[in-house]
Amino acid sequence: MIRKCCHFPICGGCTLLDKNYEEQISNKKEMLLQLFEKYSIDKPDVVKSPELYYYRHKVQLPFSSIKAGKTYRTALGCYARETHEVVNQKECLIQDRSLTAVAYGIRAWAEKTGSTAYNEKSRKGFLRHVLLRKGAGTGEILIGLVTNGDRHDGSRSISKLLLDIVQPLIGKDETIVGIVQNVNTRDTNVVLGETEYVWWGRPYIKELLGKLKFKMEMSTFFQVNPYQTPNLYNEALKNIPDGARVLDLYCGVGSISLWLASKVKEVTGIEENRSSVASARTAASLNEIKNAKFIAGDVAIELPKYIAKGFDCAVIDPPRKGLDKKSIDLLRKSALKRLVYVSCNPMTLERDISLMNDEYKLVKVTGVDMFPHTDHIEAVAVIDKK
Protein backbone atom coordinates (compact mmCIF):
# COMPACT_ATOMS: atom_id res chain seq x y z
CA MET A 1 0.00 0.00 0.00
CA ILE A 2 1.27 3.47 -0.92
CA ARG A 3 0.70 6.13 1.75
CA LYS A 4 0.43 9.78 0.77
CA CYS A 5 2.02 12.84 2.34
CA CYS A 6 0.68 16.33 1.65
CA HIS A 7 4.23 17.59 1.00
CA PHE A 8 5.21 14.98 -1.59
CA PRO A 9 6.89 15.48 -4.06
CA ILE A 10 7.90 19.05 -3.14
CA CYS A 11 9.65 18.14 0.12
CA GLY A 12 13.19 16.78 -0.26
CA GLY A 13 12.89 14.44 2.72
CA CYS A 14 11.39 11.53 0.77
CA THR A 15 11.81 10.73 -2.92
CA LEU A 16 10.13 7.32 -3.28
CA LEU A 17 6.77 7.72 -1.52
CA ASP A 18 4.99 7.12 -4.83
CA LYS A 19 6.44 3.59 -5.04
CA ASN A 20 5.38 0.58 -2.98
CA TYR A 21 8.06 -0.90 -0.76
CA GLU A 22 8.68 -4.02 -2.85
CA GLU A 23 9.40 -1.80 -5.85
CA GLN A 24 11.76 0.34 -3.78
CA ILE A 25 13.67 -2.77 -2.67
CA SER A 26 13.78 -4.11 -6.21
CA ASN A 27 15.20 -0.82 -7.48
CA LYS A 28 17.85 -0.72 -4.75
CA LYS A 29 18.88 -4.30 -5.55
CA GLU A 30 19.20 -3.35 -9.21
CA MET A 31 21.29 -0.30 -8.37
CA LEU A 32 23.72 -2.43 -6.32
CA LEU A 33 23.82 -5.08 -9.05
CA GLN A 34 24.77 -2.53 -11.71
CA LEU A 35 27.33 -0.86 -9.48
CA PHE A 36 29.14 -4.11 -8.63
CA GLU A 37 28.45 -6.16 -11.76
CA LYS A 38 32.12 -6.15 -12.83
CA TYR A 39 33.03 -8.19 -9.73
CA SER A 40 32.54 -11.96 -9.57
CA ILE A 41 30.04 -11.99 -6.72
CA ASP A 42 26.49 -13.20 -6.19
CA LYS A 43 23.65 -10.79 -6.86
CA PRO A 44 23.47 -8.40 -3.88
CA ASP A 45 20.52 -8.88 -1.55
CA VAL A 46 18.84 -6.08 0.44
CA VAL A 47 17.71 -6.47 4.05
CA LYS A 48 14.29 -4.82 4.42
CA SER A 49 13.57 -2.41 7.24
CA PRO A 50 11.28 -3.85 9.96
CA GLU A 51 9.49 -0.48 10.11
CA LEU A 52 8.60 1.49 6.98
CA TYR A 53 7.17 4.62 8.61
CA TYR A 54 8.01 6.86 11.58
CA TYR A 55 11.42 5.24 11.93
CA ARG A 56 13.70 8.29 12.20
CA HIS A 57 14.72 8.87 15.81
CA LYS A 58 16.83 11.90 14.96
CA VAL A 59 15.07 14.93 13.45
CA GLN A 60 16.96 17.92 12.05
CA LEU A 61 14.89 20.74 10.56
CA PRO A 62 15.77 24.31 9.51
CA PHE A 63 13.79 27.40 10.50
CA SER A 64 12.62 30.02 8.05
CA SER A 65 10.03 32.79 7.71
CA ILE A 66 7.15 32.66 5.27
CA LYS A 67 4.84 35.44 4.24
CA ALA A 68 1.31 35.16 5.63
CA GLY A 69 -0.73 38.08 4.30
CA LYS A 70 0.95 41.28 5.42
CA THR A 71 3.05 39.56 8.10
CA TYR A 72 5.55 36.72 8.35
CA ARG A 73 5.19 33.44 10.20
CA THR A 74 7.82 31.01 11.46
CA ALA A 75 8.31 27.98 9.21
CA LEU A 76 9.96 24.71 10.19
CA GLY A 77 10.49 21.70 7.94
CA CYS A 78 12.69 20.01 5.38
CA TYR A 79 14.10 21.87 2.42
CA ALA A 80 12.24 21.59 -0.85
CA ARG A 81 14.01 19.38 -3.38
CA GLU A 82 17.24 20.90 -4.70
CA THR A 83 16.62 24.23 -2.91
CA HIS A 84 17.07 25.84 0.50
CA GLU A 85 13.42 26.88 0.61
CA VAL A 86 11.83 25.46 3.76
CA VAL A 87 8.63 23.46 3.37
CA ASN A 88 6.55 24.38 6.43
CA GLN A 89 5.88 20.87 7.68
CA LYS A 90 2.34 19.73 8.50
CA GLU A 91 3.06 16.00 8.57
CA CYS A 92 5.92 13.54 8.08
CA LEU A 93 5.66 9.82 7.47
CA ILE A 94 9.25 8.91 8.35
CA GLN A 95 9.95 10.92 11.52
CA ASP A 96 9.10 9.46 14.92
CA ARG A 97 5.61 10.74 15.74
CA SER A 98 6.55 12.25 19.10
CA LEU A 99 9.58 14.05 17.65
CA THR A 100 7.34 15.51 14.95
CA ALA A 101 4.89 16.70 17.63
CA VAL A 102 7.77 18.26 19.62
CA ALA A 103 9.02 20.03 16.49
CA TYR A 104 5.60 21.57 15.91
CA GLY A 105 5.47 22.60 19.57
CA ILE A 106 8.84 24.33 19.15
CA ARG A 107 7.49 26.21 16.12
CA ALA A 108 4.54 27.43 18.20
CA TRP A 109 6.92 28.37 21.04
CA ALA A 110 9.12 30.37 18.63
CA GLU A 111 6.14 32.40 17.48
CA LYS A 112 4.89 32.92 21.03
CA THR A 113 8.27 34.18 22.26
CA GLY A 114 8.94 36.27 19.14
CA SER A 115 12.17 34.36 18.42
CA THR A 116 13.17 35.20 14.84
CA ALA A 117 14.09 32.65 12.18
CA TYR A 118 17.52 32.78 10.54
CA ASN A 119 17.74 34.16 6.99
CA GLU A 120 20.61 32.66 4.97
CA LYS A 121 20.89 35.72 2.69
CA SER A 122 20.88 38.47 5.32
CA ARG A 123 22.48 36.23 8.00
CA LYS A 124 20.04 37.74 10.50
CA GLY A 125 17.58 35.98 12.78
CA PHE A 126 18.17 33.85 15.89
CA LEU A 127 16.83 30.32 15.32
CA ARG A 128 18.67 28.27 12.67
CA HIS A 129 17.74 24.60 13.25
CA VAL A 130 15.89 22.26 15.53
CA LEU A 131 17.74 19.03 16.32
CA LEU A 132 15.80 16.35 18.25
CA ARG A 133 16.94 12.94 19.47
CA LYS A 134 14.91 10.15 21.01
CA GLY A 135 16.10 6.96 22.66
CA ALA A 136 14.02 4.19 21.12
CA GLY A 137 14.84 1.92 24.05
CA THR A 138 14.34 4.52 26.79
CA GLY A 139 11.81 7.07 25.52
CA GLU A 140 14.14 9.94 26.48
CA ILE A 141 14.03 13.03 24.23
CA LEU A 142 16.68 15.75 23.88
CA ILE A 143 15.75 19.14 22.37
CA GLY A 144 18.49 21.00 20.54
CA LEU A 145 18.16 24.57 19.27
CA VAL A 146 20.87 25.79 16.89
CA THR A 147 21.09 29.57 17.09
CA ASN A 148 22.74 32.46 15.28
CA GLY A 149 23.70 34.12 18.54
CA ASP A 150 24.95 33.56 22.05
CA ARG A 151 23.00 32.42 25.11
CA HIS A 152 19.45 33.73 25.10
CA ASP A 153 18.52 36.17 27.87
CA GLY A 154 15.99 34.59 30.18
CA SER A 155 16.71 31.06 28.93
CA ARG A 156 15.36 29.64 32.19
CA SER A 157 11.90 31.18 31.74
CA ILE A 158 11.63 30.42 28.02
CA SER A 159 12.74 26.84 28.72
CA LYS A 160 9.83 26.49 31.15
CA LEU A 161 7.44 27.84 28.52
CA LEU A 162 8.85 25.42 25.94
CA LEU A 163 8.47 22.47 28.32
CA ASP A 164 4.91 23.49 29.13
CA ILE A 165 4.11 23.44 25.40
CA VAL A 166 5.86 20.22 24.32
CA GLN A 167 5.57 17.87 27.31
CA PRO A 168 1.81 17.29 26.78
CA LEU A 169 2.47 16.40 23.12
CA ILE A 170 4.48 13.23 23.81
CA GLY A 171 3.54 9.76 25.04
CA LYS A 172 3.17 8.79 28.70
CA ASP A 173 6.28 6.58 28.49
CA GLU A 174 8.39 9.39 26.98
CA THR A 175 10.06 12.32 28.69
CA ILE A 176 12.02 15.44 27.77
CA VAL A 177 15.37 15.19 29.56
CA GLY A 178 17.17 18.29 28.31
CA ILE A 179 17.09 21.50 26.29
CA VAL A 180 20.43 22.48 24.74
CA GLN A 181 21.41 25.59 22.78
CA ASN A 182 24.12 25.17 20.16
CA VAL A 183 25.67 28.39 18.86
CA ASN A 184 26.57 28.61 15.18
CA THR A 185 27.19 32.14 13.86
CA ARG A 186 29.20 31.07 10.82
CA ASP A 187 28.10 31.55 7.21
CA THR A 188 28.03 27.82 6.48
CA ASN A 189 25.82 24.88 5.59
CA VAL A 190 27.32 22.95 8.52
CA VAL A 191 24.51 22.72 11.07
CA LEU A 192 26.29 22.61 14.44
CA GLY A 193 28.71 25.09 15.99
CA GLU A 194 31.27 24.40 18.70
CA THR A 195 29.68 26.15 21.71
CA GLU A 196 26.77 24.69 23.68
CA TYR A 197 24.72 25.83 26.66
CA VAL A 198 22.36 23.66 28.67
CA TRP A 199 19.17 25.63 29.22
CA TRP A 200 17.51 22.91 31.25
CA GLY A 201 18.10 19.29 32.27
CA ARG A 202 21.04 17.35 30.86
CA PRO A 203 22.80 17.45 27.46
CA TYR A 204 22.35 13.77 26.56
CA ILE A 205 19.85 10.95 26.32
CA LYS A 206 20.34 7.38 27.41
CA GLU A 207 19.74 4.76 24.73
CA LEU A 208 19.56 0.98 24.54
CA LEU A 209 20.63 -0.93 21.43
CA GLY A 210 19.90 -4.58 22.11
CA LYS A 211 21.40 -5.00 25.58
CA LEU A 212 23.97 -2.26 25.08
CA LYS A 213 23.70 1.09 26.87
CA PHE A 214 24.79 4.39 25.30
CA LYS A 215 24.73 8.10 26.05
CA MET A 216 24.02 10.35 23.07
CA GLU A 217 24.57 14.10 22.94
CA MET A 218 23.37 16.51 20.26
CA SER A 219 26.40 15.99 18.03
CA THR A 220 26.79 12.23 18.58
CA PHE A 221 26.55 10.16 15.41
CA PHE A 222 24.19 7.24 15.84
CA GLN A 223 22.13 5.38 13.26
CA VAL A 224 18.73 7.09 12.90
CA ASN A 225 16.69 3.91 12.30
CA PRO A 226 16.89 1.92 15.56
CA TYR A 227 14.65 -0.86 14.22
CA GLN A 228 17.10 -1.69 11.42
CA THR A 229 20.40 -0.93 13.16
CA PRO A 230 20.72 -4.41 14.77
CA ASN A 231 20.34 -5.98 11.31
CA LEU A 232 23.09 -3.72 9.95
CA TYR A 233 25.45 -4.57 12.80
CA ASN A 234 24.61 -8.28 12.62
CA GLU A 235 25.57 -8.23 8.96
CA ALA A 236 29.02 -7.04 10.01
CA LEU A 237 29.14 -9.40 12.99
CA LYS A 238 28.44 -12.58 11.05
CA ASN A 239 31.37 -11.87 8.72
CA ILE A 240 33.91 -11.49 11.52
CA PRO A 241 35.57 -14.79 12.58
CA ASP A 242 35.20 -15.98 16.18
CA GLY A 243 38.10 -14.87 18.36
CA ALA A 244 39.47 -12.38 15.84
CA ARG A 245 41.47 -9.30 16.74
CA VAL A 246 39.61 -6.46 15.05
CA LEU A 247 40.24 -2.83 14.18
CA ASP A 248 37.14 -0.62 13.97
CA LEU A 249 38.05 2.36 11.79
CA TYR A 250 35.96 5.54 12.06
CA CYS A 251 34.33 3.92 15.08
CA GLY A 252 32.28 6.93 16.26
CA VAL A 253 30.76 6.22 19.67
CA GLY A 254 31.88 2.59 19.46
CA SER A 255 28.50 1.06 18.69
CA ILE A 256 29.87 -1.46 16.16
CA SER A 257 32.91 -2.20 18.33
CA LEU A 258 30.76 -3.03 21.34
CA TRP A 259 28.35 -5.03 19.19
CA LEU A 260 31.30 -7.22 18.09
CA ALA A 261 32.94 -7.48 21.51
CA SER A 262 31.20 -10.66 22.68
CA LYS A 263 32.45 -12.56 19.61
CA VAL A 264 36.01 -11.32 19.19
CA LYS A 265 39.19 -11.55 21.23
CA GLU A 266 39.67 -7.80 21.19
CA VAL A 267 38.53 -4.75 19.24
CA THR A 268 40.29 -1.40 18.94
CA GLY A 269 38.33 1.56 17.64
CA ILE A 270 39.96 4.59 16.01
CA GLU A 271 38.02 7.85 15.70
CA GLU A 272 39.05 11.47 15.06
CA ASN A 273 36.21 13.08 17.04
CA ARG A 274 37.41 13.17 20.65
CA SER A 275 33.91 13.67 22.02
CA SER A 276 32.82 10.46 20.27
CA VAL A 277 35.82 8.59 21.66
CA ALA A 278 34.90 9.77 25.16
CA SER A 279 31.35 8.49 24.57
CA ALA A 280 32.70 5.15 23.32
CA ARG A 281 34.85 4.72 26.42
CA THR A 282 31.87 5.63 28.62
CA ALA A 283 29.72 3.05 26.80
CA ALA A 284 32.37 0.35 27.25
CA SER A 285 32.43 1.11 30.97
CA LEU A 286 28.62 1.23 31.25
CA ASN A 287 28.39 -2.19 29.60
CA GLU A 288 31.36 -3.64 31.52
CA ILE A 289 33.12 -4.57 28.27
CA LYS A 290 36.83 -5.12 28.88
CA ASN A 291 38.08 -6.22 25.45
CA ALA A 292 37.31 -2.96 23.61
CA LYS A 293 39.52 0.11 23.63
CA PHE A 294 39.27 3.38 21.73
CA ILE A 295 41.93 5.65 20.25
CA ALA A 296 41.43 9.36 19.48
CA GLY A 297 43.11 10.31 16.22
CA ASP A 298 43.01 10.46 12.45
CA VAL A 299 42.73 6.99 10.91
CA ALA A 300 45.43 7.71 8.32
CA ILE A 301 47.86 8.72 11.09
CA GLU A 302 46.98 6.08 13.69
CA LEU A 303 46.51 3.10 11.35
CA PRO A 304 50.24 2.35 10.81
CA LYS A 305 50.67 1.90 14.57
CA TYR A 306 48.10 -0.88 14.68
CA ILE A 307 48.06 -2.80 11.39
CA ALA A 308 51.46 -4.24 12.24
CA LYS A 309 50.29 -5.56 15.62
CA GLY A 310 48.69 -8.81 14.48
CA PHE A 311 45.10 -7.71 13.90
CA ASP A 312 43.11 -10.11 11.72
CA CYS A 313 40.27 -7.94 10.43
CA ALA A 314 39.10 -4.38 10.13
CA VAL A 315 35.59 -2.98 10.15
CA ILE A 316 35.51 0.27 8.18
CA ASP A 317 32.62 2.74 8.50
CA PRO A 318 33.86 6.02 6.98
CA PRO A 319 31.94 9.22 6.23
CA ARG A 320 29.90 9.45 3.04
CA LYS A 321 32.94 10.63 1.06
CA GLY A 322 34.65 7.28 1.68
CA LEU A 323 38.33 6.62 2.36
CA ASP A 324 41.20 8.98 1.65
CA LYS A 325 44.08 7.82 -0.56
CA LYS A 326 46.54 7.44 2.32
CA SER A 327 44.22 5.13 4.25
CA ILE A 328 43.55 3.06 1.13
CA ASP A 329 47.31 2.65 0.53
CA LEU A 330 47.86 1.62 4.15
CA LEU A 331 45.10 -0.98 3.97
CA ARG A 332 46.39 -2.32 0.64
CA LYS A 333 49.83 -2.92 2.13
CA SER A 334 48.53 -4.37 5.40
CA ALA A 335 48.34 -8.04 6.40
CA LEU A 336 44.68 -7.77 7.40
CA LYS A 337 42.95 -10.90 6.13
CA ARG A 338 39.44 -9.44 5.92
CA LEU A 339 37.87 -5.99 5.63
CA VAL A 340 34.19 -5.51 6.43
CA TYR A 341 33.29 -2.15 4.89
CA VAL A 342 30.05 -0.51 6.10
CA SER A 343 29.08 2.29 3.74
CA CYS A 344 26.28 4.86 3.53
CA ASN A 345 27.34 5.62 -0.05
CA PRO A 346 27.67 2.56 -2.35
CA MET A 347 29.33 4.70 -5.05
CA THR A 348 32.32 5.64 -2.89
CA LEU A 349 32.33 2.06 -1.57
CA GLU A 350 32.78 0.71 -5.11
CA ARG A 351 35.44 3.34 -5.84
CA ASP A 352 37.45 2.35 -2.76
CA ILE A 353 37.15 -1.38 -3.51
CA SER A 354 38.42 -0.80 -7.04
CA LEU A 355 41.45 1.06 -5.64
CA MET A 356 42.32 -1.96 -3.46
CA ASN A 357 41.54 -4.57 -6.10
CA ASP A 358 45.17 -5.51 -6.67
CA GLU A 359 45.50 -6.75 -3.07
CA TYR A 360 41.93 -7.51 -2.00
CA LYS A 361 39.02 -9.36 -3.55
CA LEU A 362 35.38 -8.43 -3.09
CA VAL A 363 33.50 -11.47 -1.72
CA LYS A 364 29.98 -10.11 -1.38
CA VAL A 365 27.87 -6.99 -0.94
CA THR A 366 24.64 -6.80 1.06
CA GLY A 367 22.33 -3.81 1.08
CA VAL A 368 20.63 -2.80 4.33
CA ASP A 369 17.68 -0.47 3.83
CA MET A 370 18.07 2.02 6.67
CA PHE A 371 16.04 4.72 4.92
CA PRO A 372 12.74 3.50 3.40
CA HIS A 373 11.09 5.91 0.92
CA THR A 374 14.42 7.57 0.07
CA ASP A 375 17.10 6.85 -2.52
CA HIS A 376 19.67 6.12 0.19
CA ILE A 377 20.84 2.65 1.14
CA GLU A 378 23.53 1.32 3.45
CA ALA A 379 25.79 -1.43 2.12
CA VAL A 380 28.07 -3.95 3.82
CA ALA A 381 30.94 -5.33 1.73
CA VAL A 382 33.13 -8.30 2.67
CA ILE A 383 36.61 -7.95 1.19
CA ASP A 384 39.32 -10.62 1.58
CA LYS A 385 43.07 -10.52 1.07
CA LYS A 386 44.06 -12.30 -2.15
Q: Total structural domains in the chain? A: 2
Distance, CA of 314 to CA of 378 (rounded, Å): 18
Q: Are residues 213 and 132 in the same domain?
A: yes
In a domain, 354, yes or no: yes
Q: Are residues 202 and 97 in the same domain?
A: yes
Q: Are residues 190 and 45 in the same domain?
A: no
CATH of the domain at 355: 3.40.50.150
In a domain, 336, yes or no: yes
Q: Which domain holds residue 129?
A: 58-217
3-state SS string over 48-92? CCCCCCCCECEEEEEEEEEEECCEEEEEECCEECCCCCECCCCCC
Q: Are residues 209 and 233 in the same domain?
A: no
Which of 172, 189, 217 finishes a domain? Answer: 217
In a domain, 7, yes or no: no
Helix or strand holding residue 237 (H, E): helix 229-237
- Given the residues 5, 14, 313, 344, select the one marked as catalytic: 344
Q: Are residues 90 and 208 in the same domain?
A: yes
In a domain, 44, yes or no: yes
Verify whether residue 6 is a known catalytic residue: no
The reported pTM is 0.94
In a domain, 314, yes or no: yes
In a domain, 124, yes or no: yes
In angstroms, how far is CA 256 from the centroid of its own chain? 13
Q: Are residues 46 and 121 in the same domain?
A: no
One digit per residue, the tens of pLDDT, for the chain of length 386 reads 788 999 999 999 999 999 999 999 999 999 999 999 999 899 999 999 999 999 999 999 999 998 777 778 899 999 999 899 999 999 999 999 999 999 999 999 999 999 999 999 999 999 999 999 999 999 999 999 999 999 877 778 889 999 999 999 999 999 999 999 999 999 998 999 999 999 999 999 999 999 999 999 998 889 999 999 999 999 999 999 999 999 999 999 999 999 999 999 999 999 999 989 999 999 999 999 999 999 999 999 999 988 878 899 999 999 999 999 999 999 999 999 999 999 999 999 999 999 999 999 999 999 999 999 999 999 999 999 99
What is the sign, positive or negative, of the torsion defined by CA atoms of 335, 295, 280, 62?
Answer: negative
Burial 111-138 (b: 16+ CB within 10 A, else e): eebebbbbeeeeeebbbbbbbbbbbbbb
